[in-house]
Structure 1
Amino acid sequence: MDFFDQLPQAALDFMDGRKLDEVECIVADLSGIARGKAMPAAKFATQKHFYLPNSIFLQSINGDWVDDADAPFTEPDMVLVPDFTTASAAPWTADCTLQVIHDVFDQKGDLMPVAPRNVLKRVVDLYHQQGWDPIVAPEMEFFLVARNTDPNQPIEPPIGRSGRRAAQRQAYSMSAVDEYGPIIDDIYDFAEAQGLEIDGILQEGGAGQIEMNLRHGDPVKLADEMFYFKRLIREAALRHDCFATFMAKPIQDEPGSAMHIHHSVVDLKTGENIFSDADGAETEAFHHFIAGLQNHLASTIAIHAPYVNSYRRYVRDFAAPINLEWGRDNRTTGLRVPISGPEARRIENRLPGMDVNPYLSIAASLACGYLGLMERREPRAEYVGDAYASAEGIPGTLASALDLLQCADQMQEVLGRDFCRTYIQVKRTENDAFLQVISPWEREHLLLNV
Structure 2
Amino acid sequence: MADWIKKLPGPAQVYLEDKRLDEVECIISDLPGIARGKAVPATKFARQKYFHLPDSIFYQTITGDWGEAAGDEGFIEKDMILKPDMATATAAPWTADWTLQVIHDAYDRDDKPVACAPRNVLKRVVQLYRDKGWEPVVAPEMEFFIVGRNLDPAHEIKPMMGRSGRPAAARQAYSMTAVDEFGPVIDDIYDFAEHQGFEIDGITQEGGAGQLEINLVHGDPVKLADEVFYFKRLIREAAMRHDCYATFMAKPIADEPGSAMHIHHSVLDTKTGENIFATSDGIETEKFRHFIAGLQNHMPSALAVIAPYVNSYRRYVKDHAAPINLEWGRDNRTTGIRIPLSSPKSRRVENRLAGMDCNPYLGIAASLACGYLGMIEATEPKDEFKGDAYEGDGDIPQVLGQALDLFEEAPALHEVLGPRFAQVYSIVKRAEYEEFLQVISPWEREHLLLNV
- TM-score of the pair, normalised by structure 1: 0.99
In structure 2, C-alpha distance between the alignment counterparts of 1:54 and 1:66, rounded to whole Å: 12
- Residue 57 (str. 1) matches residue 58 (str. 2): yes
In structure 1, C-alpha distance between the alignment counterparts of 2:383 and 2:207, rounded to whole Å: 30
In structure 2, C-alpha distance between the alignment counterparts of 1:326 and 1:14, rounded to whole Å: 44
Partner residue in 2 for 1:68: 69
In structure 1, C-alpha distance between the alignment counterparts of 2:318 and 2:450, rounded to whole Å: 31
Partner residue in 2 for 1:387: 389
After superposing on structure 2, the runs of 4+ consecutive aligned residues of structure 1 that deviate more than 3 Å are none
- Residue 233 (str. 1) matches residue 235 (str. 2): yes
Deviation at 1:135, TM superposition (A): 0.2
In structure 2, C-alpha distance between the alignment counterparts of 1:318 and 1:82, rounded to whole Å: 41
In structure 1, C-alpha distance between the alignment counterparts of 2:242 and 2:206, rounded to whole Å: 20
8 Å contact from structure 1 (residues 2, 45) kept in 2: no
Partner residue in 2 for 1:441: 443
Letter in 1 for 2:151: T
Deviation at 1:69, TM superposition (A): 6.1
Partner residue in 1 for 2:15: 14
In structure 2, C-alpha distance between the alignment counterparts of 1:62 and 1:398, rounded to whole Å: 16
Partner residue in 1 for 2:270: 268
The percentage of aligned residue pairs carrying the same residue is 68
Partner residue in 2 for 1:127: 129
In structure 2, C-alpha distance between the alignment counterparts of 1:327 and 1:134, rounded to whole Å: 21
Q: 1:370 aligns with which of 365, 372, 376?
A: 372
In structure 2, C-alpha distance between the alignment counterparts of 1:404 and 1:222, rounded to whole Å: 28
In structure 1, C-alpha distance between the alignment counterparts of 2:35 and 2:347, rounded to whole Å: 34
Structure 2 matches for 1:206-217, cutoff 5 A?
206-217=208-219
| Runs of 5+ consecutive residues of structure 1 not aligned to the other structure | none
Deviation at 1:70, TM superposition (A): 2.6
Deviation at 1:66, TM superposition (A): 1.5
Structure 2 matches for 1:14-413, cutoff 5 A?
14-68=15-69, 70-71=71-72, 72-413=74-415
Letter in 1 for 2:300: A
In structure 2, C-alpha distance between the alignment counterparts of 1:22 and 1:345, rounded to whole Å: 43
In structure 2, C-alpha distance between the alignment counterparts of 1:205 and 1:434, rounded to whole Å: 29
**1:148-183: per-residue Cα shift (whole Å, max 9, x none)?**
000000000000111110010011111111011000
| Runs of 5+ consecutive residues of structure 2 not aligned to the other structure | none
* SS of match in other structure, 2:144: strand
In structure 1, C-alpha distance between the alignment counterparts of 2:259 and 2:388, rounded to whole Å: 21
**1:50-75: per-residue Cα shift (whole Å, max 9, x none)?**
00000000000000011226341100
Letter in 1 for 2:219: G
**1:234-292: per-residue Cα shift (whole Å, max 9, x none)?**
00000000000000000011110000000000000000000011322101110010011
**1:8-53: per-residue Cα shift (whole Å, max 9, x none)?**
0000000001000000000000000000000100011111110000
- Residue 421 (str. 1) matches residue 427 (str. 2): no
8 Å contact from structure 2 (residues 68, 428) kept in 1: no
In structure 2, C-alpha distance between the alignment counterparts of 1:335 and 1:440, rounded to whole Å: 36
* SS of match in other structure, 1:199: strand
Letter in 2 for 1:344: S
8 Å contact from structure 2 (residues 56, 70) kept in 1: no
8 Å contact from structure 2 (residues 159, 167) kept in 1: yes
Matched residue count: 450
8 Å contact from structure 2 (residues 401, 433) kept in 1: yes
In structure 1, C-alpha distance between the alignment counterparts of 2:210 and 2:167, rounded to whole Å: 8
Letter in 2 for 1:237: A
8 Å contact from structure 2 (residues 280, 345) kept in 1: no
**1:370-411: per-residue Cα shift (whole Å, max 9, x none)?**
001111111000000111122211111111101101000100
In structure 1, C-alpha distance between the alignment counterparts of 2:395 and 2:419, rounded to whole Å: 25
Letter in 1 for 2:405: D
In structure 2, C-alpha distance between the alignment counterparts of 1:69 and 1:124, rounded to whole Å: 26
Deviation at 1:192, TM superposition (A): 0.1
Letter in 2 for 1:145: V
8 Å contact from structure 1 (residues 119, 359) kept in 2: yes
8 Å contact from structure 2 (residues 69, 428) kept in 1: no
In structure 1, C-alpha distance between the alignment counterparts of 2:99 and 2:83, rounded to whole Å: 18
In structure 1, C-alpha distance between the alignment counterparts of 2:426 and 2:301, rounded to whole Å: 12
